[in-house]
Amino acid sequence: MNSIIKLSGVRTVFDEKVVHESINMSVPKGSIYGILGPSGCGKTTLLREMVMLQEFHGGDIEVLGHKLKNISYKDAMELRRGWGVLFQYGALFSSLNLRDNIALPLVEYSDLSEAMIDEIVAFKINIVGLRAEDAYLFPSQISGGMKKKAGLARALAMDPKLLFLDEPTSGLDPISAREFDSLIVKLRDLLGLTIVMVSHDLRSIYDTLDHVAIIDNKEVVYEGNLDNIFSVENQFIQTFFSGMKR
């Protein structure tokens, strides 16, 4: 199996508190991979560790063939261009309009002409389902769902191979949430992305994910596809997925 991200024995400690004891998981190429678990189990922390926003205290994480421990500055920068991250609330830059938000990585990292950038931005805006006339709105003028779509367009600006989503459907109404789910699947199929996401939304989990890792009690208690989820005896899995059991 060709894996894009590999975590081996990752340990995280906050002050005295151990968040992850030893996390092992691997994300296969081209999959939509979900990190699930009860709240406070450190899902978002794990995601932040993968995108180098946070230090981990043991083990190793390998992303796109780079080991994150002691990574050189040059490799880190290359890695940062090779992935896209969508934050929970979009985290669009509030002083820039949507067009400039999406164009920012292109302007900074490439020598493309203004006209070319405009076309790329128009393409990204179109593909995430925003309208062209939204391009000059500022983040404070748009709804939460649009912010997420714009955040996604920005994450896709550099055509990354790998996309991280932090609770992509939280705070969206069910219709927008389902729309967003199908958008994620569509993008994976169109652009051949590998997607890693943290989610709490059961519908979204069943509709989008091919692989899941369930974290509980500082360990991965289950990794694999959703069909065999009940093969593991675990309090969280029983309660969380019981709604979907027939």
Q: What's the closest the beta carbon of residue 188 comes to another protein, in angstroms?
A: 13
Q: Of 44-52, 70-78, 104-112, 206-214, which part binds another protein (CB under 8 A)?
A: 104-112
C-alpha to C-alpha distance for 59 and 179, rounded to whole angstroms? 37
**CA-based angle 172:90:133, to the nearest 5?**
85
C-alpha to C-alpha distance for 130 and 77, rounded to whole angstroms? 29
Q: Of 66, 28, 81, 19, nearest to 196 (Cα)?
A: 28
Task: Indicate which single residue of 119, 182, 202, 225 sits in contact with another protein (rule: CB under 8 A).
Answer: 119
**Distance, first Cα to last Cα, the chain:** 31
Q: What's the closest the beta carbon of residue 138 comes to another protein, in angstroms?
A: 7
Indicate the DSSP class of residue 110: -
**Contact between 110 and another protein per CB under 8 A:** yes
Q: What's the closest the beta carbon of residue 21 comes to another protein, in angstroms?
A: 34
**CA-based angle 184:185:191, to the nearest 5?**
85
Q: What's the closest the beta carbon of residue 220 comes to another protein, in angstroms?
A: 32
| String of contacts with another protein for each residue 24-63, x by CB under 8 A | ----------------------------------------
**Contact between 99 and another protein per CB under 8 A:** yes
Q: What radius of gyration do the chain's Cα atoms show?
A: 18
Q: What's the closest the beta carbon of residue 137 comes to another protein, in angstroms?
A: 12
- What is the total count of residues that contact another protein (CB under 8 A)? 32
Q: Of 177, 153, 155, nearest to 167 (Cα)?
A: 177
**Contact between 111 and another protein per CB under 8 A:** yes
Handedness of CA 151, 152, 155, 157 (dihedral sign): negative
Q: Of 226, 184, 221, nearest to 206 (Cα)?
A: 226
Q: What's the closest the beta carbon of residue 125 comes to another protein, in angstroms?
A: 7
Task: Indicate which single residue of 75, 118, 207, 210 sits in contact with another protein (rule: CB under 8 A).
Answer: 118
Sheet holding 83-86, edge to edge: 66-67, 58-63, 3-14, 17-28, 219-224, 211-216, 32-36, 194-198, 162-166, 83-86
| String of contacts with another protein for each residue 132-161, x by CB under 8 A | xx-xx-xxx-----------------xx--
The residue (of 57 and 186) whose beta carbon lies closer to another protein is 186
Task: Indicate which single residue of 17, 74, 108, 190 sits in contact with another protein (rule: CB under 8 A).
Answer: 190
Contact residues toward another protein (CB under 8 A) are 94-95, 99, 106, 110-113, 116, 118-127, 131-133, 135-136, 138-140, 158-159, 190-192
